[in-house]
Structure 1
Amino acid sequence: MRRNLFLTTIIGGVIISLLLFFSYAPAKAAIVKKPKVVKVTPKTGAQGDTIDVTITGKNFADTPTVSMGNGITVNTVSFVSATELTANITIASDAKKGPRVVRVTNPDGKKSQPKSIFRVTKSTGTTTTTTTTTSSTTTTTVPQVTAKKTTEDLLSPSAAGWANITASSIQTTGNPATGGHGNVGGESGLVPVKLQAAHDSTNIFMRFEWNDSTQNNTHEVWTYSASSSTWSMEGNEDRILMAWPITDIAGREGKTFQQIGCAMLCHLKDTTDSTKIIPNTTDAVNDCSVCHPNSSGKDTTFVHPDVPESLEDDCASCHGGQDREIEEIADMGSPAGGAFDIWHWKAGRSDPINLAEDQVASDGGMRTNDGAGLTSNNDGPTGFTDRPKYIWTAASGKGASPSTEIIKNSEIANLVATNMLATVNATDGKYYLSNGTTEEVPTDGAKVRRRILKDGTAIEPGNGDIKASSGYSGGKWAVVLKRKINTTDTKDYVFKTGASDINFFGFAVTDNSGNSHKAKNLLKMIFEQ
């Protein structure tokens, strides 16, 4: 009896110990698996076709990217589930026949093993162009976005109504022939953009969401160095640009906006200054080696500084006229007789006043503001333009965080009067408080924004039409642009809202840059009735 009791006690103790071990053993960290591609339907596509393909596999995440090899452009990617994606692709008419590797990349950077499971076949002599929406299959040549009907003001990116509108995952590109250089040095960093659209009886709403590891919203910041007693200036911002054709006249390569989208606005000749623009030739568009021999005809290896040694100090050899900076060359312009509405959201210069800059390219000229712009410059007077006009004083407690230390036009007088800002003297270049005699000496590393934001009545008519609201969280931007369907301004695009009407547009996003953009040059939008 005593022995049985002893054995029972021992066995019970072992069982309890095992239960405690498994109950309290630390859980293993979840393993994030790579996506896996199993098959593609259909398995083939003919040269020149634009078709939908279904990619089946597992471990797919929302907003993935898809690549299908040379000669195939992935227009859009729609996340259906962790085991299914739908992609709309265009096969170039001169794409090489044969197998193509299909690869899926999740937002965390994990990639599927490349699988050669799709084949490009010979053109049938007719062009197939299809895309699948949630309700039907329609014939189209470009990705389509539907502006859904709403009765809610959707200006906020977190407005409840956005949850009821399916987002299109638009894959941006870096090819200049299809919308932009993307990253200088190749197509790394290209991002899928979630795009949603809605409309009420008066307004159009456009919501953009994309991954960006850094929030850049301090365009041009003055910084003081006490050791050299000098000011320097640097900084840029994240942006969205959109283009809408008001009057669609053929531009670059003799193509209209409806044919190649906003790409037709790039590098056009400015009738007022012929020295600013890259040669408007087919070769310069399709073969970067015309100006950049190192590229071997491929824009994915394009590196701007790597040009023949004889040309390194003379942009004029390729760009014509006198020597020019790249910022003066790479801009959008209108062909003679054309007019194009440009929406330009800027994280540092327009978003803090809840607007996007309203711009226009027309009458053979370059892009300009529809009005006088949304900012003025915080620059010193003649003789002292190497420093800011206003600086934060020690008493203000500011001068270290320019991302939040915004200066608005309507606030300057009060900030100066209360000695929050000191003003540079036009005679000696020193800074003084409001009494004009007490000197304010800037400290080492002191910072102040160069751009003063206009607000209230300082915003000219024509440049306050595009309302904006944004949010940045978890390495991701969400931005909504809102504008009237018809502003009655002749410099603004008038949206077509009929059942059979199509609105063509293109867009780009940038990462801390005004030049290196990730773009989708041509899309179309219809209005839900």
Structure 2
Amino acid sequence: MPVVVACFLAGLAVAWVSQGKGVVKADPGRNIWIPDKLTMPLRVQVAYNDERIFFRYRWPADRPHVYHDMLRYQDGLWVRHGASRVGPDPDGTYEDRVTMLVDDGRVPEFGRYGGYITVGAGMRFFTDQADKDEVAAHPHLGRKLGTNEVQKHLPETRHDPADWRSLKPEPELAAQRAAGYFLDLWHWRAGRSNAVGMSDDQLVAEHRLSDAGRGAFTDNWDPQHQQPLFMFDRDKAGIDALRWQQVQAEAVDFDGIYYLSDALAKPFDPDYPWQQDDVIPRRLLREGQGSRGDITVQGQGRWQAGWWDVTLTRALDTGNPLDDKAFHPQGRYDLAFAVHRDATGSRWHYVSHPHTLGLGREADLSARYFSGDRPDWPEEGWTDITLFYPGQVNWPLLISRAHAGAPDIAAGAPVRPRHSERQLAIYGVEMEFNDEIIRQWRLTLIAGLVLMLGLWLGLRRHFSTFKGERS
């Protein structure tokens, strides 16, 4: 009997320790932070005329985050707030963003699996992210492109999609790009582009690349002297600096000065009597030029009553075929959307299934033709799209034996009819905690076996005693 009781109590102890404790929790040391909400809504309208196309986006956000990467004067030093981090920035100094990937059919997997195909091995801010020094030493990624992180890229730019190092030769990469094997990336930033009426124009090929030309922002930092390069020009801006209390406020005066642009700036004066909690943006805004400046904000991107409302516009054909996907009447295209909110950056965004866009053709989103300079948006013209948190799911995992759906992907079965956004979000979270879930399953199995053993021994003891009494 003592053995029976011991087995039973041991099983209970294992069950007590292993169950009910939860494994889904923030773990910044392993680049893990799970949002409270796994899905969110996005509303989209599209219109075009003979020259331009317009995309209007609306999405909810509890508050607008337009301050991005700030320099705060503290005890005689300029301290940075807003660098990329795990999860939301505690000071709120990370901008809201909306992004859109566009393809014209020359990246066929994108129309079936969306942004998943851009997530390769060793991605930054994954638990198993590539070593920064190793990336910086890579001949193409580090030495030519100047990066120390593995970012979005397309599978066929690698010999082995599961090995971020295995880039194909540069002539082959150039030939892929010329053949249209890249994704056009529209990238609106509430802090680094919206104030000057711009959206960043980028692309995804062997890396997340910027279009040719000049972007809407640049760094405002002098690393040699550990101070800003520029400050506000009081004659133009009416101020010498922002104040930290202003940056921390819940509201934003969109008609006031909350950013530093080249039209408001002058060279930094280190001898100015700077005060504690003075703030200068670490980004200097300017008008984009060349191919990178193709996308502009139509009207004014604004947050009001809990919703962002942003309209972006671009020429149907920019004349930059190595950077952009051209739109044509009667054309059909594949799109995927993403939103950053709640002061989060990097992979802590919400993404969508791939959706089709038709210009005069039936599709998930139908672009409405209009004549004139700007569209008159009908209130009933929205397409409602659900975005989801993707977690740590990459393309090498999805096409591997570890994924039960890999044979379906190999057969070309699209993801959207098979999995809801909620299912994909839960799967993404499960992959963040895959090791813990397996360990929990093993502990549960052991606890169950021990309890069964205790029950069996108890019943065996009971029936043996019962049989002896009857004899």
1:154 corresponds to:
none
Task: State the distance in 1 between where 2:44 and 2:304 align.
Answer: 17
RMSD: 3.2
Report whether the alignment pairs 1:521 with 2:353. yes
Map 1:330-369 → 2, pairs under 5 A: 331-334=151-154, 335-336=156-157, 337=176, 338-362=181-205, 364-369=206-211
Task: State the distance in 1 between where 2:313 and 2:77 align.
Answer: 45
Distance 1:342 1:464, change over 3 A: same
Task: State the distance in 1 between where 2:184 and 2:193 align.
Answer: 17
Greater strand share, structure number: 1
**Displacement, 1:329?**
4.8
1:461 corresponds to:
290
Report whether the alignment pairs 1:264 with 2:117. yes
Task: State the distance in 2 between where 1:206 and 1:344 align.
Answer: 12
1:442 corresponds to:
274
Task: State the distance in 2 between where 1:193 and 1:187 align.
Answer: 17
Map 1:198-217 → 2, pairs under 5 A: 198-217=47-66
SS in 2 for 1:462: helix
Distance 1:391 1:340, change over 3 A: same
Match of residue 502, structure 1, among 332, 340, 363: 332
On the 8 A contact 1:333/1:361 being kept in 2, the answer is yes
SS in 1 for 2:99: strand
Which whole-Å deviations, capped at 9, do the CAs of 1:322-366 have from their partners, x for residues lacking one?
699xx965632234322111000000111111111111223x333
**Displacement, 1:218?**
1.2
Unmatched 5+ stretches in structure 1: 1-182, 251-255, 269-275, 279-303, 308-313, 417-421, 425-430, 432-438
Map 1:19-98 → 2, pairs under 5 A: none
**Displacement, 1:315?**
4.9
Task: State the distance in 2 between where 1:398 and 1:186 align.
Answer: 34
Report whether the alignment pairs 1:470 with 2:301. yes
On the 8 A contact 2:216/2:286 being kept in 1, the answer is yes
1:232 corresponds to:
80
On the 8 A contact 2:95/2:189 being kept in 1, the answer is yes
Task: State the distance in 2 between where 1:481 and 1:339 align.
Answer: 21
Which whole-Å deviations, capped at 9, do the CAs of 1:219-250 have from their partners, x for residues lacking one?
10100112x64523322100011111257346
**Displacement, 1:197?**
1.3
2:106 corresponds to:
248
**Displacement, 1:372?**
3.0
Match of residue 388, structure 1, among 213, 221, 228: 228
Task: State the distance in 1 between where 2:117 and 2:135 align.
Answer: 24
Greater helix share, structure number: 2
Aligned length: 270
**Displacement, 1:392?**
4.4
**Displacement, 1:478?**
0.6
Distance 1:259 1:398, change over 3 A: same
1:423 corresponds to:
268
TM-score (normalizing by structure 2): 0.51
Unmatched 5+ stretches in structure 2: 1-31, 83-92, 138-146, 158-175, 362-471
Task: State the distance in 2 between where 1:259 and 1:230 align.
Answer: 47
Letter in 2 for 1:387: Q
Report whether the alignment pairs 1:373 with 2:373. no
Letter in 1 for 2:186: W
Map 1:70-219 → 2, pairs under 5 A: 184-185=33-34, 188=37, 190-219=39-68
Distance 1:479 1:320, change over 3 A: same
Task: State the distance in 2 between where 1:230 and 1:482 align.
Answer: 37
Report whether the alignment pairs 1:407 with 2:260. yes
SS in 2 for 1:261: helix
Aligned residues with identical type, % of pairs: 19
2:167 corresponds to:
none
On the 8 A contact 2:135/2:149 being kept in 1, the answer is no
Task: State the distance in 1 between where 2:318 and 2:355 align.
Answer: 22
Which whole-Å deviations, capped at 9, do the CAs of 1:271-310 have from their partners, x for residues lacking one?
xxxxx647xxxxxxxxxxxxxxxxxxxxxxxxx89x7xxx
Task: State the distance in 1 between where 2:313 and 2:44 align.
Answer: 14
Which whole-Å deviations, capped at 9, do the CAs of 1:38-71 have from their partners, x for residues lacking one?
xxxxxxxxxxxxxxxxxxxxxxxxxxxxxxxxxx
Task: State the distance in 2 between where 1:221 and 1:486 align.
Answer: 36
Which whole-Å deviations, capped at 9, do the CAs of 1:193-236 have from their partners, x for residues lacking one?
1111112222211111111001001110100112x645233221
On the 8 A contact 2:135/2:150 being kept in 1, the answer is no
**Displacement, 1:509?**
0.7
Distance 1:184 1:442, change over 3 A: same
SS in 2 for 1:521: coil
Task: State the distance in 2 between where 1:487 and 1:393 align.
Answer: 35
1:146 corresponds to:
none
Which whole-Å deviations, capped at 9, do the CAs of 1:132-188 have from their partners, x for residues lacking one?
xxxxxxxxxxxxxxxxxxxxxxxxxxxxxxxxxxxxxxxxxxxxxxxxxxx942561
On the 8 A contact 1:197/1:206 being kept in 2, the answer is yes
Letter in 1 for 2:224: G
On the 8 A contact 2:104/2:334 being kept in 1, the answer is no
Letter in 2 for 1:423: F
Task: State the distance in 2 between where 1:520 and 1:245 align.
Answer: 15
Task: State the distance in 2 between where 1:187 and 1:480 align.
Answer: 28
On the 8 A contact 1:378/1:451 being kept in 2, the answer is yes
Letter in 2 for 1:462: S
On the 8 A contact 1:345/1:356 being kept in 2, the answer is yes
**Displacement, 1:447?**
0.3
SS in 1 for 2:345: coil
**Displacement, 1:446?**
0.4
Distance 1:237 1:190, change over 3 A: same
**Displacement, 1:462?**
0.8
SS in 2 for 1:463: helix
On the 8 A contact 1:506/1:523 being kept in 2, the answer is yes
Letter in 2 for 1:216: H
Task: State the distance in 2 between where 1:371 and 1:342 align.
Answer: 15
